[in-house]
Chain A
Amino acid sequence: MEYAQELFGNFFGPEWGPALFVVTKNVLLIVAIILPLMLAVAYLTFAERKIIAFMQMRVGPNRVTFFGIPWLGGWGQPIADAVKAVMKEIIIPSGANKLLFVLAPILTFAPALAAWAVVPFSPEVVLADINAGLLYILAMTSMGVYGVIIAGWASNSKYAFLGAMRSAAQVVSYELAMGFALVCVLMMSQSLNLGDIVMGQQGSSFLNWYLIPLFPMFLVYFISGVAETNRAPFDVAEGESEIVAGFHVEYSGMAFTVFFLAEYSNMILVATLASIIFLGGWLPPVDMAPFTLIPGFIWLVLKISGLLFCFLWFRATFPRYRYDQIMRLGWKVFIPITLIWIVVIGLVMQLPSPVRGVFPLNLWFH
């Protein structure tokens, strides 16, 4: 690293060298996050088709192989899909607002990626270790709704417009529940920094994770995450049986694929965030020899994969909610539950310290 810094200093001079070094280093780090993420998104679509297929007693994609290696049947599918998407025509409807129509997928995609800047992958392995990490992620996930509503309006199609209105109202409603659930996490962790939140869950075993004292909040957060990413059973915004494909009905080819990528990377983000703030992030379930030998990053990936599996499982299992049921669940169930839990956690925190030292409270309220 010092050698590279020196090389930049020699090459571009003392004035430009350090600045260019910082930019190059960060760009390389960002690419090192984006590339695996895009690969993960590609193979998440494959996993989704495979897992749902197995749940429905069929095999799923198994034909496209890598270089004809037979036992990799199906593993070439995401690559083939990507190539196909690039070769398709991007149709811009005649009545559409062309600039906004093209801008909308990019506006959905950029925040879905940018939110990954503050995600800690293991201790100290984080691109931007900022103090307001959780707030930043909340801001970025809410930016996604702009892309959706712009896409729906710019298409100048009734279905697209209706889908965008539904999606915006739904995302906005569930964001409240999500925000209140995060307030509970903050009360426990006393910090907005995601790394600090994980460190707050450190202890002898998984009993220290916020999952247990905040179990209702975990459910609220995860279900809100499913609703916020417009996934089944909350996918009325797409509702292919009623409003054909919702806000992206007029999108084709790569423009559609960019929406698709954003949705799937948002799914991975929700699963990652849930693992970090409730499931102890990179911490092993029991702080003992066989578990601590496995690197923290592997634990994080395992937790994320488990939650992503739930996403796919929900889609294979539940029928779609009606729109009024979705709004009722968001406003009349989740928001009251979270408000009550905030008061409960606050009350427990006001207990005198001898009472707080009683097991199991001493695990969470140090």
Chain B
Amino acid sequence: MADEALFQFLHNEVIQYVYKSAENGEMENGRCITRLENMGFRVGQGLIERFTKDTARFKDELDIMKFICKDFWTSVFKKQIDNLRTNHQGIYVLQDNKFRLLNQLSAGKQYLEHAPKYLAFSCGLVRGGLSNLGVKSIVTAEVSVMPACKFQVMIQK
């Protein structure tokens, strides 16, 4: 068992690294986010393989989303998603009221503009996980009040 602090520090370093290399290479913010997301994607793919070893076959898309909200989230972030909403047309909103990777930042407005950096990797995690379950998606995240955040999953048909 690894310790959580280690992952959080590593995650910070990854963000630092991606943004620093961007300074030299004139990469804009969007590209950095994409890079972080891609790294998360690969990790998500690996994780879901490990987590679903012993689970029963999923019935449908909603079943998969429930798995992500409960088991996947618990394994990765040590809590469940607080709220899952869907329009039943392929859009799911996962709300986490106390997101692990934002928890260490000030709850005020001071660092709100930096929040997206800390979410990109996790968006990738979810997308990667879903992709290995055969669900193509676009995952975005938004924060209005720290440390709560909403992940929006748009399923691609």
- Asked if A and B are interacting partners, one says no
Q: Which residues of B contact A (CB under 8 A)?
A: none
Q: Which residues of A contact B (CB under 8 A)?
A: none
